[in-house]
Structure 1
Amino acid sequence: MADEFIDLDAQAREERGPTLCQKIGGWLPSASFTAYVVLSALAATVAVYHAFDTRQYLYDALVYLSTSKVNLTIMANLFVAVVLSLVLAVTTLTVGTVEPDERERVWSAAQFAVVDLAFNLTVFREEVTVWMLLRLILLLAAKYFHELFDARMDNLERHGMAGPLRHVRFLAGLALFAVADVAAAASYAQTVADSEPSVAIMFAFEHASLALSACLVAYRYLLWSVEQRMAQEWRAKSTYFAWGSLAVNVLKLAINLVYLFVIYRAFGMPLIMVREVIRSGKAVVREFSAITAALRLRHLISQRFHVLSVEDVAAIEDKTSHPSQRQGSP
């Protein structure tokens, strides 16, 4: 009997379809997203009203809002709600409806990203502030969109995408985040150059790596566009993609090596960040091995199998076009 109730409940959930919380990645599993945003705004409004109602001067109210742990928590929660709302809105504008496989892939990547950033923050544990956590949320949002663009590019290569407007929205969103990542990386790098080494180093290199990922997605879209305009299958596409992926991975490896060197000079050897260098190095070796294996196979095929010239093809056509004459000749 219990199994029957479980089956009926699962069937009812399947008929209702995914909730709005599940659509944005499952970040808010216990309440609807709309109620969460409304309650966050109301709580922030009450906190601000209480601060200005109990303090006579503006400066005193602002100091109270910025020093009270309860008010800081409420304001940080409002910031998270605003960021999630913007993420949902930008997702709708750029990629439209998120497919189930894309949602699962993005959610899995987000879990790994949170763990990696948490490990990296152990190097900067003395600089953990509310402002730094807010910037960390923005970085996670950027990682979400880059992973979503990569997943959408995979679906585009497999199934295509109908309508030119969707392509324009996809490319516009990709370009927007690439420019934003470059600007953020430059801003954080300037901050590090003007002051002593800080957590801005991590944000600068993270955004630089995301900008390279956006360039690779744009390169894949360019290859796909060229392939769509060809009458036959473009067999060299995989080779061009392998070279582009190798170039991006080499640049990422260089960025991670510089990142590791800068952190080593400022904070000592971070064993946690060595893992990212090893991961980038393995990606470079894997891409380079695939390219060399393909070139070796192509060279072997060209040696063992003779490539017919125009004269050879003409001679074969002459022999096959007059079979009766060859049979009657002595």
Structure 2
Amino acid sequence: MRITAGLVTVASFVATAATIFNAFLINKQFYPAMVYLTKSNASMAVIYFQALVLVYISFQIIRSIFFGDLRAAEAEHLSERAWHAVLETCLAFTVFRDDFSPLFVLQFVFLLLIKSFHWLADDRVDMMERSPVITIKFHVRIMAIIGLLSGVDSYLVSHAYFTTILKGASSQIVFGFEYAILLTMVLHVTIKYILHMHDHRMRTLQSWDNKAVYLLYAELIINFVRCMLYGAFTSVILRVHTFPLFAVRPFYLSIRSLHKAFFDVVNSRRAINMMNTYVFFF
């Protein structure tokens, strides 16, 4: 028998209903039943699993609203990035293991969901370059998700900042840093969307050769900002804790991307100058 997402969802609802019914059957009253549920490890495991199922359902609903059906490449990229993100974030939060609580788990799951929507928005905007026709529905969805993600990221960065100022160093440092990185991704997606949209409008009139150059400069600036954020985060963590080993891999990837973007810009300028010199010579 094949286990599907629908079967797991139904089973979780049945298990949760049976757990709550059993608690009321034993204790007869509301308050003792709630105490029984919170004190029972098995009951809390069922409730936590039900919460994860509800989060999954919410993700699917929001995904269908803003992105519709995912393409095979988008689903593959999402699963690969999610796996690495879970490992890196879990490693990051070992620094603040004393802050572990149900609220902490909720914030972690919410961070993973927000990251997923950022990755989907990035892939969907990149698809514009390969699509001959872009519908109004596509533009509405992209502008809506960009506005939503930028608002969420900005609010959570400010919340993490003020929480750290008032209560001292905690896991909010990691959350704030993660949302700051995601905010740079939203900025990059917005720039690419504007450039692709302008390119689609120019196709009916004439070819627009400067789009690739603008994309290179945008990638260079965004990667530079990310490297600065990683450097600032590392210096802050070194002051309040030990060396952030979990930041080594993303920091290295950002530096490598910055290095590649810089040389791409340099090579692009060289190629343009050589072509201009060649045309002028003839």
- Whether these two folds match at TM > 0.5 is yes
Task: State the Cα RMSD in Å.
Answer: 2.3
Among residues 231, 243, 259, which one is paired with 2:217 in the alignment?
243
For 2:111 and 2:133, the matched residues in 1 are separated by 28
Counterparts of residues 1-330 of structure 1 (less than 5 Å)? 31-55=3-27, 59-230=31-202, 231-306=205-280
Question: Are the equivalent residues in 1 in contact too, given 2:99–2:171 (CA < 8 A)?
Answer: yes
For 1:268 and 1:219, the matched residues in 2 are separated by 36
Q: Say if 1:57 and 1:267 are closer, same or farther in 2 by CA, change over 3 A.
A: farther
For 1:60 and 1:191, the matched residues in 2 are separated by 35
Q: Say if 1:267 and 1:68 are closer, same or farther in 2 by CA, change over 3 A.
A: farther
Q: Deviations over 1:50-83 (max 9, x none)?
A: 4445447655444443343222222211111111
Question: Are the equivalent residues in 2 in contact too, given 1:189–1:201 (CA < 8 A)?
Answer: yes
Unaligned runs of 5+ in 1: 1-28, 309-330
The offset of 1:194, in angstroms, is 1.5
Look at both structures and tell me which one has the larger radius of gyration over its CA atoms.
1
Q: Deviations over 1:27-48 (max 9, x none)?
A: xx96222232222223223333
Q: Deviations over 1:78-125 (max 9, x none)?
A: 111111111111111111111111111111111121221122222223
Q: Say if 1:197 and 1:62 are closer, same or farther in 2 by CA, change over 3 A.
A: farther
Q: Say if 1:53 and 1:187 are closer, same or farther in 2 by CA, change over 3 A.
A: farther
Q: Say if 1:68 and 1:284 are closer, same or farther in 2 by CA, change over 3 A.
A: same
Amino acid at match of 2:201: R
Question: Are the equivalent residues in 1 in contact too, given 2:82–2:112 (CA < 8 A)?
Answer: yes
Q: Deviations over 1:103-157 (max 9, x none)?
A: 1111111112122112222222333333322221111111111111111122221
Q: Of Structure 1 and Structure 2, which has the larger fraction of its residues in helix?
A: 2
The percentage of aligned residue pairs carrying the same residue is 25
Structure ranking higher on relative contact order (CA contacts 8 Å, 6+ apart): 2
Amino acid at match of 2:41: K
Matched positions, count: 280
For 1:71 and 1:256, the matched residues in 2 are separated by 41
Unaligned runs of 5+ in 2: none
